[in-house]
Amino acid sequence: MGWPNTDDFWLIGRVGRHCLSCLTLRPNFRKRQGMMPRRTKIARLLADGNTGFDTTVMGWIRTFRNNQFIALNDGSTLHNLQVVVDFENADAELLRRLTTGAAIRATGAIVASQGKGQALEMKARDIEVFGECDPEAYPLQPKKHSLEFLRDIAHLRFRTNTFGAVFRVRHHVAWAIHDFFHRRGFVYLHSPVITGSDAEGAGEMFRVTTLDPINPPLTESGEVDFKKDFFGKATNLTVSGQLEAELGALALSEVYTFGPTFRAENSNTTRHLAEFWMIEPEVAFVDLEDNMNLAEDMLKHIIRHVLENCGDDIALLESRLVEEEKNKPQQERSAMTLREKLQFCLDNDFARVTYTEAIDILRISTPNKKKKFRFPIEEWGADLQSEHERYLVEKHFGRPVILYNYPAKIKAFYMRLNEDHETVAAMDILFPGIGEIVGGSQREERYDVLRQKMEAMHIPVEEMSWYLDTRRFGTVPHAGFGLGFERLILFVTGMTNIRDVIPFPRFPGYAAF
């Protein structure tokens, strides 16, 4: 029966002396036993490039050309395997069932391709249709669809080249993040998704309750009695794991969280979601500069990992952008391709400027003088609008920018007050096209200063006693930041709408699937 398939080699490598039993687990044997035949992933077949052996592949038909050529995709790679059907001897009924979208198993010999466009192909000897796909009802065609249309069929969009690439890259980014922190000895901390604290200070929250919405139990004064609720108090979905991460860092030294985050803001933009994923490292015994270094190193590590491991997918996403930009006027096209942009980020230090320096740059900038800004920069202390951030990143510096030492008045209570008593040790990292991708700070570790700020900003001190305890018992300088995972995916993939880089987006008025 010839050579064992490549998956059998893999199993030999994995299980050592069990290789003999593995060799018997070949397609025909397994089939006779009523077992699912073992398959080889298309990514491995194409990567190995070997020919002259039999194997089995499984996947979904992308196109069936000329009654003869199946382009088969199993999601392991962007590329399809060409499966050649001997149509002259094939059952007509089988050929009828080989339609775009159908799921099949194909068994046959891997040979060098006669045609151009692919090195390998499979001469199919046996084809089994797992699931037919009615071509009239199936919404995906072998053609370009709009991203908006695909968003409406998010359950099927994984089967397109673009979304296959996006979600493979998304996986690699997640992996690279864990890899980065693990190598540096960080502890992955799971902060709670349900929180009883309403002082996380990051916007509107989603309530979590099991109370009857029509007839909730009431207190004597007629308000909803949350003491009768599941947790005995009002609870919400988390808007940040930072406060809990700080507790972990003040014992484990270096921790990070990576989990879903929920914000009930009525945000309708290409860079906001109601449910998104956030990475929040928190580090003891460091200051703001260490924090900036950590963030920059992490972003570069991720970008390098993606360039090294997702070449095909990034190349596809890049050519997508090139096609898209052909419809734009010359001046709106990007100066760099996707890969050039990512490489540029690796090769150059991020610009680091204080808020005060940024205000000076903006004040004397051409758009400010010509009154092109909707919100002109007049004096120190104003919050920067996205038009200002875009000017700094895209026009003035032309690379990622870290802004730091913001006015205390426009930042959160937990950020450390600087010596000038006017600014806090906060930092935001701004990326071209996306804006704020990281927001962080050195934390206020001095008990008296923190308590004073909480009272001034009307944070319930009693309820937050557990947070203040860390400053009472062995407090240390520490710092951390939050990284918006989907915003990072936007940057790395070159996609422009955040709803297209998360499998099933949630935003105001929409929670399908």
Partner RNA sequence: GCCUCAGUAGCUCAGCCGGUUAGAGCGGCGGACUGUUAAUCCGUAGGUCGUAGGUUCGAGUCCUACCUGAGGCGCCA
CB 502 within 8 A of CB 271: no
Which is nearer to RNA, 55 or 441 (by Cβ)?
A: 441
Least gap, CB of 111 to RNA (angstroms): 8
| DSSP string over 33-97 | TTPPPP---HHHHHHH---SEEEEEEEEEEEEETTTEEEEE-SSSSSPEEEE--TTTS-HHHHHH
Cβ neighbours of residue 395 under 8 Å, at least 6 residues apart? none
| Extended beta strands in 267-375, E state | 275-284, 351-354
| Closest distance of CB 121 from RNA, Å | 5
CB-nearer residue toward RNA: 248 or 505 = 505
Residue 146 CB, nearest approach to RNA (Å): 4
CB of 415 to RNA, least distance (A): 11
The amino acid at 308: E
Among residues 309, 307, 312, which one has the least CA distance to residue 73?
312
Q: Which is nearer to RNA, 11 or 249 (CB)?
A: 249
Residue with smaller CB distance to RNA, 55 or 242 = 242
Sort 34 into a burial class: Cβ within 10 Å, 0-12 / 13-18 / 19+: exposed
Find tokens 């992490």 and name the residue. 298
505 sits in the region (left: phi over 0; alpha: psi -120 to 50; else beta) called beta
CB of 204 to RNA, least distance (A): 8
The nearest distance, CB 412 to RNA, in angstroms, is: 8
Cβ-contact 122, 110 below 8 angstroms: yes
In the complex, least distance from residue 301 CB atom to RNA, rounded to whole angstroms: 17
Sheet arrangement for strand 235-237: 194-195, 235-237, 207-208
Closer residue to RNA (CB): 136 or 223 = 136
HSE at residue 466, side-chain half, CA atoms within 13 A, is 10
- The phi, psi pair for 407, rounded to 5°, reads -60, 135
Task: Retrieve residue 511's tokens.
Answer: 């929670």
Residue among 23 and 382 whose Cβ is closer to RNA: 382
Specify the residue, 153 or 224, whose C-beta has the smaller distance to RNA: 153
For residue 417, what are the contacts with CB-CB under 8 A and spacing of at least 6? 408, 423, 424, 444, 449, 453
Q: Residue 31 Cβ, how far from RNA at the closest point, in Å? A: 25
Of 342, 293, 302, whose CA–CA distance to 440 is shortest? 293
Cβ 489 to RNA shortest distance, Å: 10
Q: Which is nearer to RNA, 226 or 350 (CB)?
A: 350
Q: How far is the CB of 377 from RNA (least distance, A)?
A: 13
The least CB distance from residue 452 to RNA, in Å, is 21
Element (H, E) at 449: helix 447-456
Q: 235: buried, middle or exposed (CB in 10 Å: 19+, 13-18, 0-12)? A: buried
How far is it, in rounded angstroms, from Cα 158 to Cα 160? 6
Integer Cα distance of 196 and 233 in angstroms: 7
* Structure tokens belonging to residue 480: 């951390």
**Of 502, 21, 27, 16, nearest in space to 273 by CA:** 502
- By DSSP bridging, strand 81-84 and strand 120-131 are parallel
Residue nearer to RNA on the CB measure, 84 or 283 = 84
Of 9 and 60, nearer to RNA (C-beta) is: 60
349 vs 183: CA distance, rounded Å: 22
In the bound complex, what is the minimum distance in angstroms from residue 104's beta carbon to RNA?
16
Of 30 and 396, CB closest to RNA: 396
The nearer residue to RNA, 149 or 175, going by C-beta atoms, is: 149
What gap in Å lies between CA 349 and CA 292, rounded to an integer? 11
